Amino acid sequence: MASLKGRDILSLKNYSQDEIYQLLAKAIELKRQQRNGKAHRFLEGKTVAMIFSKPSSRTRMSFEVACSHLGIHPIFLKPDEIQLGTREPIKDIARVLSGYADAIVIRTFKHSDVEELAEYSSIPVINALTDDYHPMQSLADLMTILEIKDRLAGLKIAYIGDGNNVAHSLLIVAGKLGINMSVGCPKGYEPAKDIVDFAQSCIRNINHKIDVTNDPQEAVKNADVVYTDVWASMGQEDEHDERIKVFKSYQVNRDLMDAAKPTALFMHCLPAHRGEEVTDEIMESKQSVVFQQSENRLHTAKAVLVSLLK
């Protein structure tokens, strides 16, 4: 098994299939230990700096609880305290924090800021969300599917809605792990072409398909997982009313779920706007695994911290 110690996690583009499975196996192992009441304070005495330029509930909680379970001291740095790239250059912040902490968790807007932070840091940098990628979410998504379906390769994920950072990270791991993925989104809201191209470039056999369509019914056909996200993400609040009109026919409701496989799971990265991108009926249905998915943010955060720091 390859050591991941000292690596960054910025987008998972540079992680191999085996390395992603290694992280998932570690997360499942740590979840089992927690359920069995077995202490796993593997990182006693370590310190993690958490730079959060965007509000967060699941990401902050999952990392802070993960640190608590592992024996790490987390230091939360609010936007007005760190003032990323304004009060002092990012490269200076990277080198200062490298002298104090053992890793940096960052949740911010521009992905290039995270790349610059990683370039100048001598400690691992973990992307906890940027406008382009959400790799920590996709690890929790994969873990949840693996727990329930017992496999990933050959399954089909239908992502319905805005081709945003969540869709981008799912496309990357789908390409790498042999998962079929169809993104159903309105015209003008497709995922970035270079990320679709990257995912398609990872395809290893003729049966593995990654595609983008403007027809949500087509996207969910034969899907094992139906996934959606809010129509207006943080920073897009001014576009909310317009997006409601554009995305109206992309709501995940009973009709759309019935077009997928009868055994299809419903997933959402949360927070969910019930009545907009998903109905209350689907959120509360037996097909919904959103809270198992949410819990797994904790176990995958622990797996990443242990793998990069131990």
Residue 269 a catalytic site member: yes
Q: Name the catalytic one among 69, 243, 297, 299.
A: 297
My answer on whether omega of the bond before 216 falls inside 30° of 0, hence cis, is: no
131 among known catalytic residues = no
Q: Which two tokens stand for residue 51?
A: 């730079």
Known catalytic residue at 137: yes
Marked catalytic residue, from 107, 111, 208, 268: 107
The pair of structure tokens assigned to 191 is 């995922």
Please state, in angstroms and rounded to a whole number, the distance separating the CA atoms of residues 122 and 130.
21
Of 67, 185, 202, 269, which is the active-site residue? 269
235 burial level (CB within 10 Å; 0-12, 13-18, 19+): exposed
**Catalytic option among 134, 168, 268, 299:** 134
Catalytic residue among 8, 162, 229, 243: 229
Choosing from 137, 141, 251, 299, the catalytic residue is 137
Q: Which residues of 24-45 are buried (b: 16+ CB within 10 A; e: fewer)?
A: bebbbebbeeeeeeeeeebbee
Is 134 catalytic? The answer is yes
**From its phi and psi, is residue 178 left (phi > 0), alpha (psi between -120 and 50) or beta?**
left
Q: Which residues are catalytic?
A: 107, 134, 137, 229, 269, 297
